[in-house]
Chains A and B, each alone.
Chain A
Amino acid sequence: MTTTRPTWAGPLWALAAAVPLAFLAVFFAWPVLALVGRGFVADGGVDLGGFAEVFSRPRTWRILGLTLAQAALGTAGSLLLGVPGAYLLYRTRFPGRAALRAFVTVPFVLPTVVVGVAFRSLLAEGGPLGFLGLDGTFAAIVLALVFFNYAVVVRTVGGMWERLDPRAEQAARALGASPARALRTVTLPALAPAIASAASVVFLFCATAFGVVLVLGGLRFGTIETEIWVQTTQFLDLRAAAVLSVVQLLVVALALGVAARTRAGQERALRLGAAAAAAHPLRVLERDPRGRWRPGPDLLPAGVTAVVVAGLLALPLLGLLVRSFRTPGGGWGLENYVNLGTTGGPGTLSVTVWEATANSVRVAVDATVLAVVVGTLVALVVSRRPRSRSGRRAVGVLDALFMLPLGVSAVTVGFGFLITLDRPPLDLRSSLVLVPVAQAVVAVPMVVRTVLPVLRAIDPRLREAAATLGAGPARVLATVEGPFLVRSLGLAVGFAFAISLGEFGATSFLARPDRPTLPVVIFRLIGRPGAESYGMAMAAAVVLAVLTASVMALAERLRTAEATPW
């Protein structure tokens, strides 16, 4: 297998890697290292005594254990429920499928403070589900984590499942394998890269969950992330925060390492087929030859998904929706929605909720462009399989590097921005670009994880064949990878946009008071006394949810339109 590559291909790939690396260095590594560095520098010398001190606290060990336990359980729950969901929403056809796909993504981007209150309204003493006794328990946190991350599994796994060539499975079935056996021996191994990808992302989201853990579990069930927040914003104990940040990074690196190993061990070139061919009509019930109804093969996934969607996802969202129609006077009506055109009571908001919505959309466009450009470059570089060992290692490191933003607390990044990007040549503290930049840093890992499994699934022989036939790297990219890329890009754009719309942690640090985003406005409304503000907050949260669902539905539609057989 010899390929003749033009000599400028190497430098070109180096440049493709350099742009995202520079982005990551300036807008992530530098601020984070600067802040963590402050925790380890005392009186002009390096002081690592903080480690001994922090690790002598029993609380540190308890928090570490809790973080790992809730992340493991949250990931297991999301996978267990999400894989059947991915099957149902991407391999079967039924009326309302597109709407359901959009709907399951809504939780993923709702501001945690709204979700926390919605969950607690259900679970609190006297709430509709108060009899379960889940308020303030570990189980409630795990449920909420699954609520948030279900969509990640459904979409990353489903996106690949949809394009999986059904013929391998059909062959196995034709040779006598039971559906379960075909699933276990043919389909699941083929999906392993996507499942591992989803698992690693979900694990990171769970291990670094912040707002919802705080609201539902309080400091009793803190994570490393909530502990960093408390130590930084409340106690200004940078030493403890720095030690915890390092610990968190280690946990994240470990999770990434395991995920990479899983992926590497099971990665293979997949035969990807056309999406339309793969989906079949939903078969929940079937008539046997004698005309009697009996359970169809899709009954189990359909049942699981129905329970998840109705019980776990819809219930809190429905509570939110119902509450948004309760008027401040105690009746029912549209008053809260009418109020979205105002700035609320005196001194409540600086702009109307609709203006904040427009701000959110503008910021999200910028953040999405940034995230998709950077993320796609990373995915393209990482999807190469260099011949040299060091080359492969470099690619692996690059892959891991861009997952790190998921594993560092927004507080650390936010405070880091304040103390680094504060003087020439980069004085951006009051600049409007900081918000989309910060959101893009958060969204890039999702873009990479969405695009990469698809690129990696392309048979390298296709590229090699094209190159052998004389195509230059650019042509290979355009003709071989282009179609795959465009398909996965719809989803990546949707994710990036949705993440930006819902991002609160870093945005609350950086958004200027005269240009608040929708989540910032909701947070402010929910914290103001008075039924009018609370009602507006609920209505605004519904707007955010609807906006998100629409964006995801649109991304879905663009992608389907693009998915013509080739």
Chain B
Amino acid sequence: MSTTPTRTAAALGALALTLAGCSLTGGGGDDEAGDGGEVTVVTHDSFALSEDLLAQFEAETGYTLTFVAPGDGGALVNQLVLTKDSPLGDVVYGIDNTFAARAVDAGVLEPYTSPDLPDSAGEYVLDEALTPVDVGDVCVNVDHQWFADAGLPEPVTLEDLADPAYRDLLVVTNPATSSPGLAFLAATVGAFGDGWQDYWADLADNGVKVVEGWSDAYYVDFSGSEGAGLRPLVLSYASSPAAEVTAGGGDPRTGALLETCFRQVEHAGVIAGAQNVEGARAFVDFLVSADVQADIPGQMFMYPVDTDVALPEAWAAYAPLAEEPHDVPAEQIAAEREDWIAAWTEIVIG
């Protein structure tokens, strides 16, 4: 243990200062200068890119990459806000549109949008500090086989889910604890406006089941994947059916209901106070390059923002994106998220 009394005294002193509300010096300055070759990437815990691509980036630019992955998308943004005075790294990837406005409002990002941004990504730009990298649809998934066996037509729209014909068939995740849950709540707000609360009351009356996490819903309650659950409708992603294609080939047993979707857009940005601003920018540019965009579906189960990039075969066949996902502006989500969740909890959980 390297803890000496002097250090403890210093620590206690710092504690006293922090408690007194004095801001200690920011993260810059004390450490070695920013011309070192290191770029620290802060990202969520689902981040993945091919090793070859990362090695290629390091070889071409001379930067060394270090990754920090402190939690899911929400925790990621909150940690950036908390550590604003002493940033976790240089560049962040994985801020989605349900949390983007909070990051922007808190000033944790430096203005920079990649000049290499493909034209097709233009519609996803929210703020000059954010570069959209990939998108994904959160949609209700359906077990085709279950409905075929039951001789029941599959539901199509959000309204259908509240139809008594589909009583006790749907399992969703809690918007307070899971990001797909929050996305689906936003979809219903986008679809029904002020009427969303009535819709959820109807869903609750119709026996919707709420669990806390995606894997719990998908692997325990859903009948389509492991085949163990009883419910043939589950909140998941548009890309999930592609993951159900088995090595033996053949059509997957599940599909996504494309009229129930909310689009998540994941962004990258340069962190305010970055030690290595140039390196951070280079990494943002790298994320929207054609090679990385093509790598994203197989690695992170998201769709590239660059629509010129070809999708994997199974995706093209079984996992199309929604034509018209339900939409809510990021600012509105930031402003109303807490109220939504409080109201939702009251209506559905009680």
Nearest-neighbor residue (CB-CB) of B76 within chain A: A233
Within the complex, which residue of A215, A430, A509 is in contact with B213, where a contact is CB–CB below 8 Å?
A: A215
Chain A residues near B120 (CB-CB < 8 A): none
378-435 of chain A: CB within 8 A of chain B: 415, 418-420, 422-427, 429-430
Give the CA-CA distance A534 to B47 in the complex, in Å. 18
Q: Which of A26, A427, A526, A530 contacts B8 (CB 8 A)?
A: A26
- Flag if B226 contacts A415 (CB, 8 Å): no
Contacts of A418 in B (CB 8 A): 70, 79, 82-83, 88
A215-259, CB < 8 A from B: 215, 218-220, 230, 232-237
Residues of B close to A76: CB separation below 8 A: none
A 485-513 binary contact with B (CB < 8 Å = 1; else 0): 00000000000000000000000110011
- 1/0 contact string of B207-231 vs chain A (CB within 8 Å): 0001111111011110001101111
- Asked whether B243 is an interface residue with its Cβ less than 8 Å from the other chain, the reply is yes
Q: Are B8 and A41 in contact (CB under 8 A)?
A: no
Q: Give A121 to B70 CA distance when docked, in angstroms.
A: 29
The yes or no answer to A91 lying at the interface (CB within 8 A) is no
Q: Are B81 and A236 in contact (CB under 8 A)?
A: yes
CA distance A427 to B83 in the complex (A): 13
* Contact flags A93-118 to B (C-beta < 8 A → 1, else 0): 00000000000000000000100110
The interface residues of chain B lying within 8 Å CB-to-CB of A198 are none
Cβ–Cβ < 8 Å partners of A234 in chain B: 74, 78, 176-177
- What count of chain B residues pass the 8 Å CB interface test? 80
Determine whether the beta carbon of B74 is less than 8 Å from that of A233. Answer: yes
Q: Which of B61-69, B145-153, B262-270, B279-287 contacts A (4 or more CB under 8 A)?
A: B61-69
Interchain CB contact under 8 A, A25 and B68: no
| Stretch from A122-130, A154-162, A185-193, A469-477 that touches the partner | A122-130
Q: How far is the CA of A523 from the CA of B288 in the complex (A)?
A: 28
Q: Is residue A48 within 8 Å, beta carbon to beta carbon, of the partner chain?
A: no
Are B78 and A215 in touch, CB under 8 angstroms? no
A293 CB-CB contact with B under 8 Å: no
A527 and B46 contact, CB distance less than 8 A: yes
- Most chain A CB inside 10 Å of its own CB: which residue of B72, B177, B231: B177
In whole angstroms, what is the CA distance A347 to B54 when docked?
Answer: 12
Check if A512 sits within 8 Å of B68, measured CB to CB: yes
Asked whether B11 is an interface residue with its Cβ less than 8 Å from the other chain, the reply is yes
Per-position contact with B for A517-538: 1 when CB-CB < 8 Å, else 0?
A: 0000001101111110010000
Docked complex Cα distance between A330 and B253 (Å): 13
Q: Contact: A25 with B19, CB < 8 Å?
A: no
- Give the Cβ gap from A62 to chain B, nearest Cβ, in Å: 11
- In the bound complex, how far is the Cα of B338 from the Cα of A426, in angstroms? 36
Cα separation A427 to B24 with both chains bound (whole Å): 14
Quick check: is B320 within 8 A (CB to CB) of the other chain? no
A358 to B97, CA, bound (A): 38
Asked if B198 CB lies within 8 Å of chain A CBs, one says: no
B11 touches A426 (CB 8 A): yes
Task: Using CB atoms, name the residue of chain B closest to A534.
Answer: B219
Of B123-131, B184-192, B295-303, B324-332, the one contacting chain A is B295-303
Q: Is the CB of A120 within 8 A of B220?
A: yes
Contact indicator A429/B88 (Cβ below 8 Å):
yes
- The tally of residues in A whose CB lies under 8 Å from a CB in B reads 70
Q: Is B27 an interface residue (CB 8 A)?
A: yes
Judge whether B225 and A531 touch: CB under 8 Å: yes
Minimal beta-carbon separation of B298 from chain A (angstroms): 5
Q: Does B206 contact A (CB under 8 A)?
A: no
Question: A30 at the A/B interface (Cβ < 8 Å)?
Answer: yes
- Give the chain B neighbours of A514 by CB distance below 8 A: 67
Say yes or no: is A269 at the interface (Cβ < 8 Å to chain B). Answer: no
User: Which residues of the partner chain A approach B236 to less than 8 Å between Cβ atoms?
Assistant: 529
B228 and A513 within 8 A (CB): no
Chain B residues near A425 (CB, 8 Å)?
7, 10
Contact A25 B230 (CB under 8 A): no
Partner of A347, one of B7, B25, B237, B298: B298
Residues of B within 8 Å of A126, CB to CB, are: 228-230
Rounded to whole Å, the gap between the CB of A376 and the closest CB of chain B is 14
User: In the assembled complex, which residues on chain A have CB atoms less than 8 Å from the CB atom of B67?
Assistant: 512-514
Q: Is A168 an interface residue (CB 8 A)?
A: no
- Which among B14, B45, B228, B230 is the interface contact of A524 at CB below 8 angstroms? B45
Which one of A16-24, A65-73, A139-147, A308-316 is at the interface?
A: A16-24
- A524→B228 CA distance, assembly (Å): 21
- Answer whether residue B119 sits at the interface, using C-beta atoms and an 8 A cutoff: no
B8 CB contacts on chain A under 8 angstroms: 22, 25-26
Q: Contact mask B153-182 → A, CB, 8 Å, 1/0? A: 000000000000000000000101100000
CA–CA, A424 and B246, complex, Å? 52
Judged by a CB distance under 8 angstroms, whether A438 is at the interface is no
A565 within 8 A of B: no
- Considering only residues 50-103 of chain B, those with a C-beta below 8 Å from chain A are 50, 66-72, 74-75, 78-79, 81-83, 86, 88, 102
Known contacts being A117-B219, A215-B212, A531-B226, is A232 close to B18, with CB within 8 Å? no
Taking the complex as formed, is B35 at the interface, i.e. its CB lies under 8 A from any CB of chain A? no
Complex CA–CA separation, A18 to B9 (angstroms):
13
Closest CB in chain B relative to A123 CB, distance in Å:
9
B residues in contact with A237, CB < 8 Å: 338
B18 / chain A contacts, CB cutoff of 8 Å: 34, 37, 420
Residues of A contacting B219 in the complex (Cβ-Cβ under 8 angstroms): 117, 526, 534
A232-B78, A328-B246, A514-B67 known; A423+B30 contact, CB < 8 A: yes
Q: Beyond the given A527-B46, A527-B213, could you list 6 further A-B residue pairs with CB under 8 A, ordered by the A residue number?
A: A44-B21, A125-B230, A234-B176, A236-B102, A347-B49, A415-B79
30 interchain pairs, CB-CB under 8 A: A22-B8, A25-B8, A30-B15, A125-B229, A127-B220, A214-B212, A218-B349, A219-B345, A233-B71, A233-B74, A234-B176, A328-B247, A330-B246, A346-B299, A347-B299, A418-B88, A419-B82, A422-B86, A430-B68, A513-B68, A523-B45, A524-B46, A527-B215, A529-B218, A529-B239, A530-B243, A531-B225, A534-B215, A534-B219, A534-B226
Binding site for B on A (CB under 8 A): 18-19, 22-23, 25-26, 30, 33-34, 37-38, 41, 44-45, 113, 116-117, 120-121, 124-127, 214-215, 218-220, 230, 232-237, 328-330, 346-348, 350, 370, 373, 415, 418-420, 422-427, 429-430, 508-509, 512-514, 523-524, 526-531, 534
